[in-house]
Structure 1
Amino acid sequence: MRAGDLLGAAVRGITGNLTRSILTMVMIVIGVGSVITLVAVGNGASKQVNDQIAALGASAITVSPGFSATGPGTQLELEDAAAIRSSLVASSVARVAPQVSAERRVVAGSRSVSLSVVGTTEDYFTITNALIAQGRPLAASDALGGGEVTVLDARSAAALFPAGDAVGQTVLVGSAPFRVVGVLAEGGAAQQVFGSGRTIYAPIDRVRSSVTGYGPLSALTVGAVSPNAVDQAAAEVRTVLARQHGSVDGGGAFDISTPNQLRSALGGSAASLNGMLAGVAAISLLVGGIGVTNVMLLTVRERTREIGIRKALGARPFSIAGQFMIEATALSIIGGLLGVAAAFIVTRTPINGIPPVIEPATVGLAAGLSIGIGIVFGTYPAVRASRMDPVQALRVGV
């Protein structure tokens, strides 16, 4: 039987029971679409994490007080920032920004919102690559003028000044007034570091004197001279802190995190998430393959007499098997293409706040799997049809 005849017979077999063929393709569509969509969500989550880390600054290092088995570890002091800034050992360090922070009610007119109040220096905005949407960031001259100024992040500005006129307004933190001189762009450093994205910044001396008191620092943000020098700078900071606190391992009493460490830790989590999502999607694809097998077995059963007639007229087993293999593969290919199209439509909008990212390799893998399903899961019904005894087959329905 020629290839054209086999193809024509396969088309007639598919269209002969169109409803069943459509339902079979729907199972493939769901499987392929699930694989692409779920993997795209995993890729989108990974990209979102990397973008958030990049928003902190590629050269930013965060130093936090550590914890021991008995409680809080060694505290950070303002002198630690000065020691790192002036030490000859820390040659890979470009800037150091100390921070103190506290949760406080902030009042603007008739509005009162609970926000994180962070006291820091102008270097913080440079280290973290903070983008200013309105006004300006903190400046060194602000401390000389009394430090009664503040910079709001985008969400704090929206909560306190919904009309968008924050710059130039005054807010009260407790009884201390602060004049707003700038607003950060949405998704800035505050949202990434402090989580809530509802943070206001003011000069550290002013915040310590009127909000937090003169206790230990909450953290240090250190800027390396370049992204390639981050690990070296972190090691130098640890050495300086060890000397500053009078012990060989004093630097080990602090948590020092770098963008590379965050990427490594979160990258492993993202890989696990991708694997889990791909596994769930693969199960859907497997179910679709089993559906193809069931449908093709039913098709063979219903067309037993046709198979017997064709074999009685001299059709070879290869031709019989080929026809059913073509039918199964065609259903899988069409279903796979529709699944790819469905995935592209679904992933045009964010899913649970995550913009999906479709990679060509994922599309190719899913399309290849759909073809493989037609071949693998269509083989058994095709072989079974080719091995039928024509005499027994002709007796069916008699």
Structure 2
Amino acid sequence: MNPLDLVIAALRSLRGNLTRSILTILMVTIGVGSVITLVAVGNGTTEQVNKQVASLGASAVFVSPAGDNYGSKSASFTRADRDALASDPLGSAIDLVAPVVDGTSKAVAGSASASPQVVGTTPDYFSITNARLSAGRFFTTTDELTDQSVAVIDATLQTALFPDGSSAVGRTILVENIPLLVVGVLAPTAVDSMYGSMGGVGTFYAPLDLVEATLTGYHELGSIALSATSPAQVDTAKSQAAAIFAARGEATPSFYSSDQLRETLGGTQESLSSLLSSIAAISLLVGGIGVTNVMLLTVRERIREIGVRKALGAGPISLASQFVLEATGLSVIGGALGVAVAGFATLFPINGVMPIVDGATVALAAGLSIAIGVFFGTYPAVKAARMNPVAALRVGV
């Protein structure tokens, strides 16, 4: 038989077993669709994490006091440490420096109350952490110098204190019975989760002097935030900060930067993507096994046909080619439908993540669907080609 006759015969056979063919196509469709969709979800999750990490500020470095062998802080920071980091000639790669004191306090607005995280710092902190506003403004150096009782809160705290959905900007909240004017609301960033929202009730930021004078008292700084002169200088800035502390006779502090968080989460995302890909690959393998099962049943049902064709002179290659074409046809149709289904599914967010389809993954999944037809259809095809024509003609006699 010529190639065109083989294709026509294969299509006729598939149409003759329509229900079985549809079920086989469905298995391949699920496998291919799963591969593309799950990998797209993994890509979307990775992209989402990278954007959240970027919100910390690509050049940001968070410095914590040195700890002892049990994880407790054995040293503390002072304002003199902040000043040294900001002005020491050794810190040529250090740009902005912001001291941080933190704690928890009770905040009240009307009948609503919450116990948010308190962060006392300077305006440079917002630049270091690449903070963004959803409304209002940041507090400024002028606010600090004129002892203004102002605060910037995050979106979580705004929701907790103003559950009716109204804006907190321009409203006064009481923090430990001290009235503070809310001048800005932060857009959600990874900084919120990094510093903690203390049970999900949010954080408010106020000038360092105001927080120390009214809430926490004058004591050591909880941490220091600094920024490198560029993202490429982050490691240099860490080394220079360590050298400045060493020159002051102080223990080397702990450093944490957004690139470390990206590396940590990146490893987690790679593991997640691998897991999702493995699950999808299993679905594709199941589809391949289904193709094999269907083709074996097809060979069994068509033993007499095979015997007649061999008796009429059909060669092993011709017989094998027809069955391989049938298996490949099922896989190609299933693969095409799988790509279409995945393309539609990835148009919408999945569990809060917007999938990102990778062209290479689509090509790989489509290629695998064809390979499945060839690979899993080969054994039944070879079995049919090797069949004894005399024994085949006796079947059913």
Q: Which amino acid aligns with 2:181?
A: R
Q: Does the 8 A contact of 1:190 with 1:199 survive in 2? A: no
Q: Does the 8 A contact of 2:116 with 2:204 survive in 1? A: yes
Q: Does the 8 A contact of 1:147 with 1:202 survive in 2? A: no
Aligned residue in 2 for 1:144:
145
SS of alignment partner, residue 315 of structure 1: coil
SS of alignment partner, residue 22 of structure 1: helix
CA distance in 1, matches of 2:121, 2:190: 13
CA distance in 1, matches of 2:287, 2:55: 42
Q: Which amino acid aligns with 1:200?
A: F
Q: Which stretch of the first structure deviates more once superposed, 39-48 or 117-126?
A: 39-48
Residue number among 234, 240, 243 corresponding to 1:236 in the alignment: 240
Q: Does the 8 A contact of 1:106 with 1:172 survive in 2? A: yes
SS of alignment partner, residue 206 of structure 2: strand
SS of alignment partner, residue 151 of structure 1: strand
Q: Does the 8 A contact of 1:104 with 1:115 survive in 2? A: yes
Deviation at 1:353, TM superposition (A): 2.2
Across the aligned residues of Structure 1 and Structure 2, the Cα RMSD in angstroms comes to: 1.6
Aligned residue in 1 for 2:231:
227
Aligned residue in 1 for 2:55:
55
Aligned residue in 1 for 2:166:
164
SS of alignment partner, residue 349 of structure 1: coil
Aligned residue in 2 for 1:264:
263
Matches within 5 A, 1:130-209: 130-161=131-162, 162-185=164-187, 187-188=188-189, 190-196=191-197, 198-209=202-213
Aligned residue in 2 for 1:83:
84
Corresponding pairs, count: 392
Aligned residue in 1 for 2:331:
332
Aligned residue in 2 for 1:28:
28
Deviation at 1:17, TM superposition (A): 1.0
Aligned residue in 1 for 2:314:
315
SS of alignment partner, residue 200 of structure 1: strand
Aligned residue in 2 for 1:8:
8
Alignment CA distance shift 1:189-1:49 (3 Å): closer
Q: Does the 8 A contact of 2:55 with 2:191 survive in 1? A: no
Alignment CA distance shift 1:189-1:38 (3 Å): closer
Deviation at 1:192, TM superposition (A): 4.4
Give a deviation string over 1:213-239, Cα, whole Å, max 9, x none.
223322211111112211111111111
Aligned residue in 2 for 1:127:
128
TM-score, structure 1 as length reference? 0.94
CA distance in 2, matches of 1:206, 1:97: 15
Matches within 5 A, 1:244-283: 244=248, 246-247=249-250, 250-251=251-252, 254-283=253-282
Alignment CA distance shift 1:195-1:293 (3 Å): farther
CA distance in 1, matches of 2:272, 2:2: 49
Deviation at 1:104, TM superposition (A): 2.3
Deviation at 1:75, TM superposition (A): 1.9
Q: Which stretch of the first structure deviates more once superposed, 187-196 or 333-342?
A: 187-196
Q: Does the 8 A contact of 2:117 with 2:196 survive in 1? A: no
Q: Does the 8 A contact of 2:85 with 2:241 survive in 1? A: yes
Aligned residue in 1 for 2:221:
217
Q: Which amino acid aligns with 1:56?
A: L
Give a deviation string over 1:167-190, Cα, whole Å, max 9, x none.
1110111112110111122x2354
Alignment CA distance shift 1:139-1:159 (3 Å): same
Structure 2 segments unaligned to the other structure (5+ residues) = none
CA distance in 1, matches of 2:298, 2:146: 86
Q: Which amino acid aligns with 2:354?
A: P
TM-score, structure 2 as length reference? 0.95
Deviation at 1:106, TM superposition (A): 1.3
Q: Does the 8 A contact of 1:56 with 1:193 survive in 2? A: no
SS of alignment partner, residue 219 of structure 2: coil
Deviation at 1:78, TM superposition (A): 2.4
Aligned residue in 2 for 1:101:
102
CA distance in 1, matches of 2:308, 2:115: 82
Q: Does the 8 A contact of 1:153 with 1:188 survive in 2? A: no
Alignment CA distance shift 1:203-1:326 (3 Å): same
Deviation at 1:289, TM superposition (A): 0.8
CA distance in 2, matches of 1:322, 1:26: 23
Q: Does the 8 A contact of 1:52 with 1:192 survive in 2? A: no
CA distance in 2, matches of 1:52, 1:355: 14
Give a deviation string over 1:239-264, Cα, whole Å, max 9, x none.
112223x15xx22xx22022222222
Give a deviation string over 1:65-86, Cα, whole Å, max 9, x none.
3432243232222221111011
Q: Does the 8 A contact of 1:130 with 1:189 survive in 2? A: no
